[in-house]
Amino acid sequence: MTTFTITMPRALDLIAALEFPAKLPAPVDCKILIFDFKSSSLIEPFAMLMISSEISRYMHEHQDVEFKCSNYMHMSYAGHMGFFKSFGLDFGKSPGEANGSSRYVPLTIYSTSDIEKSAASKGIEIGDEVETISQQLSYTLCHIKEGILFDTLSYSIREIMRNVVEHSAASRFGICAQYWPSKNKAEVAIFDRGIGIKKSLSQNPHIDASDDKRSLNYALMPAVSGKAFKGSRVKQKGHWANSGFGLYMTNRICRNGGTFFICSGDTGMLLTKKSNAKRYFSTNLHGTAVRMVLKTDQLSSLKEALDTYKNEGYEIQKRYKEIINIDPSSASLMLSTDFDLSIWGKILAALKLRN
Ligand SMILES: Nc1ncnc2c1ncn2[C@@H]1O[C@H](COP(=O)(O)OP(=O)(O)OP(=O)(O)O)[C@@H](O)[C@H]1O
Ligand SMILES: [Mg+2]
């Protein structure tokens, strides 16, 4: 009988979360699998969601393997956040159980059909229901119901959560978040095991969503959507009609000092504001995961930020037309850089449309 031990790293952060699936052993020889937390002292919301979901998935797929955790008793924060109970270890609280009175949202699983049913029973649109949930979560994190931080968190959570409900086809999704006032930092993670960005975007015939990397880049462009496009048979109306701006706006808001990470399929993409703004990671996720890190002392008024980004987004969208309806060859040039008007000249020069 083979016992396999995975020593969990000291910091369970973004990188550790992305590296974790590859550490899981091939099941053939493994009869007992032990997760050893003796070196771990830090755990972040995204890592909690991703690692617990991976452990649950692996346990479900390999029911003949016995699972154990060792040296975890000092991980009281993770326990309180519902990390251990989410994959069946009786330590700490269950997912969603902690009351979240201390500026965190514990690991919480939402059912998309419950959100839809709740909206229907109130006679409101699903987008309104998602907005209400996002505002509650934002309030849990920042303890006030107005102001730049409340507005920005509500907006960002709402856009990512709407995407799960509107595009992922997942029946459930997870969320976990923490605000650290002394560090002027907040992290929000949202994770689904739905169809992923590539499959969802491939409904749009104007773009080449043939691989995960391209698809992620397209999804972040202003006015690019898997539902709203020229010639789409589904005509959307009303306040929550898709326009392809959610990920574009949210990533720009986060990058005001913070970072935006999204992964789907075999690609993860970390965006910051610096010149080396884009970093790719190899992943293996059936679904979509987003991690937003906000520098809370560097946020500007949400309304002003949204107005600026929206205007720039429309301007960029208009200019797509200068280079033929985002055809794959010109798009690939744009995909290699960021959607900022200041780089437009460079794109045209590269396409030899301007010196
Ligand atoms: N969780 C997800 N699962 C599957 N596909 C997704 C997910 N999130 C985003 N997408 C894909 O990325 C596209 C772009 O998302 P984005 O939020 O920018 O625009 P939108 O949702 O179409 O429109 P808007 O946000 O303006 O209502 C979506 O249309 C969808 O195809
Ligand atoms: Mg959206």
Tell how far the Cα of 73 is from the centroid of ligand 2, in angstroms: 40
Ligand 1: atom nearest CA of 215 is 12
**Tokens describing residue 309:** 């980004």
Is residue 287 over pLDDT 80?
yes
Helices assigned H by DSSP within the chain: 14-23, 45-61, 76-80, 83-86, 112-122, 126-142, 148-163, 196-201, 212-220, 246-254, 302-320, 328-335, 344-350
Is any ligand 1 atom within 6 A of the Cβ of residue 310?
Answer: no
Tell how far the Cα of 220 is from the centroid of ligand 1, in angstroms: 9
Residue type, 321: K
**pLDDT higher at 72 or 307:** 72
Ligand 1: atom nearest CA of 243 is 26
Confidence at residue 170, expressed as pLDDT on a 0 to 100 scale = 98
Residue nearest to atom 8 of ligand 1 (CA): 163
Task: For the chain, list the domains and their CATH numbers.
Answer: 2-86 (no CATH), 104-314 (3.30.565.10)
Q: pLDDT tens digits, residue range 166-179? A: 999 999 999 999 99
Which ligand does the CA of 236 lie closest to? 1
Is any ligand 1 atom within 6 A of the Cβ of residue 127?
Answer: no
Tell how far the Cα of 278 is from the centroid of ligand 2, in angstroms: 21
Q: pLDDT tens digits, residue range 218-252? A: 899 888 888 887 777 777 777 888 888 899 999 99
d(CA 157, CA 141) in angstroms, rounded, equals: 12
Residues near ligand 2 ion, CB 5 Å cutoff:
163, 246
Is residue 335 over pLDDT 80?
no
Is any ligand 1 atom within 6 A of the Cβ of residue 278?
Answer: no
Instruction: Name the pLDDT band for 57 (thresholds 50, 70, 90).
Output: very high
Confidence at residue 355, expressed as pLDDT on a 0 to 100 scale = 42
With b for 16 or more beta-carbon neighbours within 10 A and e for fewer, the 297-331 pattern comes to eebeebeebbeebbebbeebbeebeebeebeeebb
**Helix, coil or strand: residue 351:** coil
Is residue 141 over pLDDT 60?
yes
State mean pLDDT over 170-192: 97
Q: pLDDT tens digits, residue range 90-137? A: 999 988 777 756 899 999 999 999 999 999 999 999 999 999 999 999
Lowest mean pLDDT: which of 35-39, 54-58, 83-87, 93-97? Answer: 93-97
Q: pLDDT tens digits, residue range 26-50? A: 777 788 999 999 999 999 999 999 9
The residues with which 30 forms a beta bridge, in sequence order, are 2
Tell how far the Cα of 31 is from the centroid of ligand 2, in angstroms: 43
d(CA 350, CA 355) in angstroms, rounded, equals: 9
Is any ligand 1 atom within 6 A of the Cβ of residue 222?
Answer: no
Confidence at residue 137, expressed as pLDDT on a 0 to 100 scale = 96
Strands 66-70 and 172-180, bridge-based pairing: unpaired
Is any ligand 1 atom within 6 A of the Cβ of residue 96?
Answer: no
Residue type, 41: S
Is any ligand 1 atom within 6 A of the Cβ of residue 72?
Answer: no
Which residue reads 């969503």 in tokens?
209
d(CA 299, CA 305) in angstroms, rounded, equals: 9
Is any ligand 1 atom within 6 A of the Cβ of residue 326?
Answer: no
Lowest mean pLDDT: which of 89-98, 192-201, 209-218? Answer: 89-98
Is residue 67 over pLDDT 80?
yes
Share of the chain above pLDDT 90, in %: 65
User: 246-254 and 148-163 are packed helices; what angle lies between their axes, rounded to 10 degrees?
Assistant: 140
Q: What is the mean pLDDT of the chain?
A: 88
Is any ligand 1 atom within 6 A of the Cβ of residue 197?
Answer: yes
